[in-house]
């Protein structure tokens, strides 16, 4: 073996060791979302507030690392994508969250189960993330199609003069908009109320319609704002 080949082999060995021995990062979050617009924009709004709040007091509370990826793929595929992101990351995330909806995917329950078995936290919504957004304003336990939740948000945005008067998936300040009237705390309260009915029995996520566990992730993140 030539000296160049030996050098390359040693370099690859060093890289592999660096990859295998990642430094655990306290207060770090990796959030991987199925949606490419609403979900990542919502969490980026919360991420921004956390960075502003923690700011210069990192010596007291270590500023969280929150990386958000909007992947736009099926639920089961999203778990695989998350695994690759975790493997390729430069740090070892303390909290890995996968955010996805049921929509019409048949692999919804399977994806929740597989993600949980891999040690990921799952923030799911049935049928869609729009149900979670709706809970920022009102409680509702009707099993509606995701398009109907969009329509209900349209009505609310018009009534409250939010955005341009209609619900759209590309509002960069969506978190701020729905939290205008303490909506985030309201959504957490309503989501807990709704999910308490299901947690009494053995229900699969696909049977919790409507339902959402997004409040668990939001509660974790909001700790840094309190």
Average pLDDT of the segment spanning 45-53:
86
Residue 198: pLDDT above 80?
Answer: yes
Region 199-222: mean pLDDT is: 92
- Report, as an integer, the average pLDDT of 155-164: 96
Query: What is the 8-class DSSP label of residue 170?
Result: T
Lookup result for tokens 């270590």: 62
The predicted pLDDT at position 91 comes to: 83
Query: Residues 197, 111, 119, 133: is their CA dihedral positive or negative?
Result: negative
End-to-end CA distance of the chain: 60
| Phi, psi angles (nearest 5°) of residue 107 | -95, 20
For strands 121-126 and 211-212, give the pairing: antiparallel
Q: How many CB atoms lie within 10 A of CB 75?
A: 24
* Mean pLDDT, residues 90-110: 88
Structural domains in the chain (count) = 1
Of 42 and 1, the structure prediction assigns the larger pLDDT to 42
Q: Taking 90 as the threshold, does the pLDDT of residue 62 lie above it?
A: no
Helix, strand, coil percent content, the chain, rounded in steps of 5: 50, 15, 35
Distance between CA atoms of 153 and 137, rounded to whole angstroms? 9
The answer to whether the beta carbons of residues 75 and 107 sit under 8 Å apart is yes
What is the predicted pLDDT for the residue at 191?
A: 98
pLDDT-above-90 percentage for the chain: 55
Given CA atoms 146, 44, 98, 196 in this order, what sign does their dihedral have? negative
**Among 13-17, 89-93, 124-128, 220-224, which stretch is predicted with the lowest mean pLDDT?**
13-17
pLDDT for residue 171? 96
Q: Which pLDDT does position 17 carry in this prediction?
A: 47
The pLDDT, as a whole number, for residue 58 is 29
What is the average pLDDT across 70-82? 79
Q: Which domain holds residue 30?
A: 3-225
Least confident of 112-126, 136-150, 187-201, 207-221: 187-201
């Amino acid at each position: 073996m030539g000296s160049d080949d030996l050098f390359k082999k040693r370099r690859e060995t060093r890289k592999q060791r660096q990859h295998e021995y990642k430094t655990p990062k306290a207060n770090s979050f990796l959030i991987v979302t199925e949606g490419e617009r609403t979900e990542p924009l919502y969490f980026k709004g919360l991420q921004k507030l956390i960075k502003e709040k923690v700011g210069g007091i990192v010596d007291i509370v270590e500023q969280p690392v929150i990386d958000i990826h909007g992947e736009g793929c099926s639920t089961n595929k999203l778990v695989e994508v998350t695994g690759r992101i975790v493997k390729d990351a430069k740090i070892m995330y303390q909290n890995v969250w996968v955010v996805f909806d049921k929509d019409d995917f048949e692999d919804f329950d399977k994806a929740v189960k597989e993600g949980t078995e891999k040690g990921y936290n799952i923030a799911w919504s049935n049928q869609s993330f729009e149900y979670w957004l709706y809970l920022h304003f009102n409680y509702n336990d009707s099993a509606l199609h995701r398009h109907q939740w969009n329509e209900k948000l349209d009505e609310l945005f018009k009534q409250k003069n939010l955005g341009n008067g209609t619900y759209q998936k590309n509002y960069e300040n969506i978190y701020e908009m729905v939290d205008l009237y303490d909506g985030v705390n309201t959504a957490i309260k309503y989501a807990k109320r709704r999910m308490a009915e299901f947690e009494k029995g053995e229900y699969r996520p696909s049977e919790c319609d409507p339902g959402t566990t997004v409040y668990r992730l939001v509660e974790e993140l909001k700790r840094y704002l309190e």
